[in-house]
Amino acid sequence: SAVISQKPSRDICQRGTSLTIQCQVDSQVTMMFWYRQQPGQSLTLIATANQGSEATYESGFVIDKFPISRPNLTFSTLTVSNMSPEDSSIYLCSAPNPQDSILDLLYGYTFGSGTRLTVV
C-alpha cells in the first residue's frame, strides 16, 4: 500500500497566522483528501485535491481559509489561514491505495500520520 509522509506532526501557532501542512506520497495517486479530526471523534472532509484542477471543498470549508495545492500526483499542501483557536484540531491527508486497477478505491485508503495544530 502507499505510504504518506505528513509534516509537521504538530505545531503551536499564534492566532492570525497561517500554517502549511505537507503530504508526500511514495507513489502516484489520482486523488488526495484533506480531513479535520477532533481527538476521539470522526473525520470531517475538508476538500478533495486533484492534480491539475482546483480542489473541491465540502460545505463549510472555503478556499480562502483552507487553500490547497496539488502540483503533481505525489504531493499536496493544505494551508490553514488566519488561524483562530477554533482551528485547533488534527489535520489528516489521505489517498487511495494505488493498485494496478482503475478500481483503486476498492483497495482502501492510506492516511498520513496527522498534524496536531494548537492555536493560541
Partner 1 sequence: AQRVTQPEKLLSVFKGAPVELKCNYSYSGSPELFWYVQYSRQRLQLLLRHISRESIKGFTADLNKGETSFHLKKPFAQEEDSAMYYCALPWGPSGGSYIPTFGRGTSLIVHP
Kindly list the residues in this chain that would bind partner 1 in the complex (CB under 8 A).
Answer: 1, 31, 33, 40-43, 45, 48, 56, 92, 94, 97, 105-114
- Min dist. Cβ of residue 106 to partner 1 (A): 5
- Min dist. Cβ of residue 83 to partner 1 (A): 23
- Residue 62 vs 106, nearer CB to partner 1: 106
CB 28 within 8 A of CB 98: yes
- Min dist. Cβ of residue 36 to partner 1 (A): 12
What per-residue string of b and e applies to 82-102 under the rule 16 or more CB within 10 Å gives b?
ebeeebbbbbbbbbbbbeeee
- Using CA atoms, how far apart are residues 109 and 44, in angstroms rounded to an integer? 15
- Residue 92 vs 119, nearer CB to partner 1: 92
- Min dist. Cβ of residue 56 to partner 1 (A): 7
- Residue 20 vs 99, nearer CB to partner 1: 99
Strand pairing class (10-13; 115-119) = parallel
